[in-house]
Structure 1
């Protein structure tokens, strides 16, 4: 196994673990939403903290789970042309897309969110709403962490595509699918 294969496997396994761990938050989100609905409509009681908790959990799922979704090829894609291309053409499109768009964008978000997150931590930002949740700075930290994971997955995708382009596609067991095959999860 060469160095590039090890890097791809390491990044993929990291995002696999993170994604599967964060997926459990969807169960928590369902329970919180059910609690909110019951208290709001049956007990005629509304709690700001519960409503904020809903979007905090959703934000963590979205931000931290984005890299796993990218790894599993679950993001929206226009497959009209891409779906009928050869594995090498798909690899070329994926490589160019990662190098020109995904990697620079994720780095830009990580870099520009630095001051935003730092300021939030310095003032221990919480909810501006009475009865809201404290520690909003923890939620804001998920922005650079999530996009950092997307950056890493972009590196993995670019390396995987590069290996396909040079005629050395990674084995099917590395990705769980045939080289160049698109999953439609």
Structure 2
């Protein structure tokens, strides 16, 4: 349980920290709108930073959303299930879908970031960001966090099912 707690504390720290990027993103959008409307100024890098902030919020918020059970799910039957049945569905869903998806995303995201680094990929627009490598590195990092949170979730559900079976 100590390992699960550490994983969940780390994921929660990242998720709560990233939530503050929403404030920065909103302020940046407001400044961008004012500069465009009042001064007729456009800065490509500001728009690109907005995209990157949104990407960070999504990528690094997803593992925290998983931890807090905030991902979208079809609750036609799930909400009526017993705790044991929900744990079974969550365990198998994690093992069959989440863990393989996270591994695939980690591998392909790493290749994607590596290719961006090799090519020196940056903005094609004048005045844009010089490199896209840092944001692309967040893809495999997010997948790693999702994988770790998925493993913690699977282990917790496994423990819950074991407790249910020993209580019978």
> What TM-score range do you get, normalising by the shorter chain?
over 0.9
* Residue of structure 1 in register with 2:80 after alignment: 84
* Residue of structure 2 in register with 1:113 after alignment: 109
Moved segments of 4+, more than 6 Å = none
2: CA distance between counterparts of 1:37 and 1:114?
A: 35
* Residue of structure 2 in register with 1:151 after alignment: 147
Deviation at 1:117, TM superposition (A): 0.9
Q: After alignment, is 91-100 or 31-40 more displaced?
A: 31-40
Contact map agreement 2:110 2:139 (CA 8 A) in 1? no
Count, aligned residues: 165
1: CA distance between counterparts of 2:132 and 2:113?
A: 10
Q: In proportion to residue count, which structure has more helix?
A: 2
1: CA distance between counterparts of 2:133 and 2:122?
A: 7
* Residue of structure 2 in register with 1:18 after alignment: 14
* Residue of structure 2 in register with 1:180 after alignment: none
TM-score, length-scaled by structure 1: 0.85
- Structure 1 residue matching 2:76: 3-state secondary structure: helix
- Please list the CA deviations of residues 133-184 of structure 1 after superposition, one character each: whole Å capped at 9, or x if unmatched: 122111100000011100000001100110111116xxxxxxxxxxxxxxxx
- Structure 2 residue matching 1:83: 3-state secondary structure: helix
* Residue of structure 2 in register with 1:134 after alignment: 130
* Residue of structure 2 in register with 1:71 after alignment: 67
Deviation at 1:112, TM superposition (A): 1.6
Contact map agreement 2:4 2:152 (CA 8 A) in 1? yes
- Structure 1 residue matching 2:77: 3-state secondary structure: helix
Alignment gaps of 5+ in structure 1: 169-185
TM-score, length-scaled by structure 2: 0.93
2: CA distance between counterparts of 1:43 and 1:77?
A: 45
Deviation at 1:44, TM superposition (A): 1.9
- Please list the CA deviations of residues 31-72 of structure 1 after superposition, one character each: whole Å capped at 9, or x if unmatched: 101011111122222221111111110001111111011101
Contact map agreement 2:25 2:53 (CA 8 A) in 1? yes
Q: After alignment, is 82-91 or 122-131 more displaced?
A: 122-131
